């Protein structure tokens, strides 16, 4: 970059092919080569990336532009470009605190908070428990069983819960035949949060465990020996070695989870919404869906979606920033060489 090149290909008409090759996969110290020379050198490589680039632009960046309808009065038959601008009018349901919106916001935050407090520690506890077991084989079997549900779709998980715990499900049928207390969990608005919380744990706790187990397996064994030499038992090893060693990972995951606070499983909640009603189950994502796609209020629900997206991105960026400040890698980091 800084060192001026002695053999600059002035007109770039005949670049020396040999030097091109030497430079090819960029060493850390790049000499100045004109853009077009580099383009000619790397063009073949970049050409391969084109389909991926186009798809990324089309399905990730173009929709960003579609958010302009939040500032327009969009009607499907008018079209996005022709729709008249209305400024921030569509945001009025947020600004004026539309009750349905506030309800969705409240449910989102409550569910999110519960998931952080209740769901987050479960995989960690499972990992510590599993790690303290002796048999390597037992460990592997338990692990395999526990993270299987992660690969099931939400539809299947909801279906299984309904058929096992639902009013006409396995347990309640059994309870009726044997005069046991019934379990009114599925379809009960008052117990909606415990229901979805238990579903999330059932589906993903085993999966979440993996990353903690990986962190634990990196702990230096000599530290355990040191504790043992000092006469410390297993609890002391846990307290003074394991937990401090994985603190970084725990904090990182917690921060990232906080960054996702406005997103609580859309599919899971949407699937069970008819059974419990909107009051208990409407969250921001379902609100946008019900109001926009179902109700046809495209512009105002796009406004809600936009605010949610912006706040969500800020939360993720903020969470990542905090992770950096704590000396963790975060979701993304400065690209290594």
Partner 1 sequence: MTTVTASQRQQRLRNINGARPPGIPMRATKGLVLLIACLLVIVPFVVVVSTSLATPDQIRDAGGYVLWPENPTFAAYESIFRGGVVTRATLVSIGVTVVGSGLSVTVVALLAYGLSRPGTVLHRPILLMVLFTMLFNAGMIPNYLLIKELGLIDSYWSLILPTLVSGFQVVLMRAFFMEVPKELIDAARIDGASELRILATVMLPLSKAAIAVIALFNAVGYWNAFFNAVLYMNSVEKWPLQLVVRTYVVEGSAVGVDAGAEVIPPQQALQMAIVVVSLIPILLVYPFLQKHFAKGVIIGAVKG
Q: Which of residues 208-247 bind partner 1 (CB under 8 A)?
A: 210-211, 214, 217-221, 224-225, 227-228, 231-234, 237
Interface mask toward partner 1 for 147-176; x: CB under 8 A: xxx-xxxxxx-xxx-xxx---xxx--xx-x
- From the list 12-20, 93-101, 104-112, 206-214, the region that binds partner 1 by CB under 8 A is 206-214
Residue 7 or 47 having the CB closest to partner 1: 47
Residue partners of 309: CB distance under 8 A and separation at least 6: 67
| Number of chain positions touching partner 1 (CB under 8 A) | 116
User: Would you say 216 and 126 are in contact if contact means Cβ atoms under 8 Å apart?
Assistant: no
Residue 335 as a binder of partner 1 (CB under 8 A): the answer is: yes
d(C-alpha 319, C-alpha 324), whole Å = 9
Establish if 64 lies at the interface with partner 1 (CB under 8 A). Answer: yes
Rule CB under 8 A: choose which of 24, 110, 311, 325 binds partner 1.
24
Is there binding between residue 94 and partner 1 (CB under 8 A)?
Answer: no
Q: Map the footprint of partner 1 across residues 73-92, applying CB under 8 A.
A: 76, 80
d(CA 122, CA 200): 11
Q: Is 181 in the site for partner 1 (CB under 8 A)?
A: no
Q: Does 265 bind partner 1 (CB under 8 A)?
A: no
Number of H helices, E strands in the chain: 17, 0
Site for partner 1 in 108-137 (CB under 8 A): 126, 129-130, 132-134, 136
Proportion of the chain in helix, strand, coil states, percent, rounded to 5 = 70, 0, 30
Task: Assess contact for 15 and 38: CB atoms under 8 A.
Answer: no
Cβ proximity to partner 1: between 116 and 219 the closer is 219
Task: Give the dihedral of Cα atoms 298, 303, 309, 313; nearest 10 deg.
Answer: 150
**Residue given tokens 């208990």 in the structure block:** 280
3-state secondary structure of 72: strand
Count of beta carbons in the 10 Å neighbourhood of residue 74:
22
Query: In this chain, which of 16, 42, 184, 190 binds partner 1, going by CB under 8 A?
Result: 42
Binding piece for partner 1, criterion CB under 8 A, among 9-17, 91-99, 100-108, 297-305: 297-305
């Amino acid at each position: 970059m800084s060192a001026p090149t002695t053999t600059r290909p002035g007109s770039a008409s005949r670049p020396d092919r040999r030097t091109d090759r030497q430079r090819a996969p960029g060493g850390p110290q790049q000499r100045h080569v004109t853009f077009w020379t580099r383009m000619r050198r790397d063009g073949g490589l970049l050409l391969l990336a084109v389909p991926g680039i186009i798809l990324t632009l089309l399905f990730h960046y173009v929709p960003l532009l579609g958010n302009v309808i939040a500032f327009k009065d969009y009607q499907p038959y008018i079209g996005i470009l022709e729709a008249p601008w209305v400024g921030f009018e569509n945001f009025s349901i947020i600004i004026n605190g539309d009750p349905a919106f506030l309800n969705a916001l409240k449910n989102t935050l409550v569910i999110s908070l519960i998931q952080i407090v209740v769901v987050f520690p479960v995989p960690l506890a499972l990992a510590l428990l599993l790690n303290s077991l002796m048999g390597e084989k037992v460990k592997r079997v338990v692990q395999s069983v526990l993270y299987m549900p992660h690969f099931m779709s939400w539809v299947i998980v909801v279906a299984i819960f309904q058929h096992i715990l639902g009013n006409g499900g396995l347990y309640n049928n059994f309870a009726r035949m044997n005069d046991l207390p019934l379990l009114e969990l599925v379809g009960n608005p008052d117990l909606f949060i415990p229901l979805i919380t238990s579903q999330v744990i059932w589906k993903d706790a085993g999966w979440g465990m993996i990353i903690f187990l990986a962190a634990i397996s990196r702990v230096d064994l000599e530290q355990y020996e040191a504790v043992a030499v000092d006469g410390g038992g297993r609890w002391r090893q846990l307290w003074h070695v394991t937990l401090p060693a994985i603190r970084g990972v725990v904090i990182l995951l917690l921060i990232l989870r906080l960054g996702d606070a406005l997103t609580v499983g859309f599919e899971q909640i949407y699937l069970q919404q008819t059974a419990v009603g909107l009051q208990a189950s409407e969250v921001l994502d379902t609100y946008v869906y019900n109001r926009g796609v179902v109700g046809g209020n495209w512009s105002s629900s796009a406004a809600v979606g936009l605010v949610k997206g912006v706040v969500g991105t800020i939360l993720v960026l903020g969470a990542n920033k905090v992770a950096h400040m704590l000396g963790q890698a975060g979701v993304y980091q400065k690209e290594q060489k």
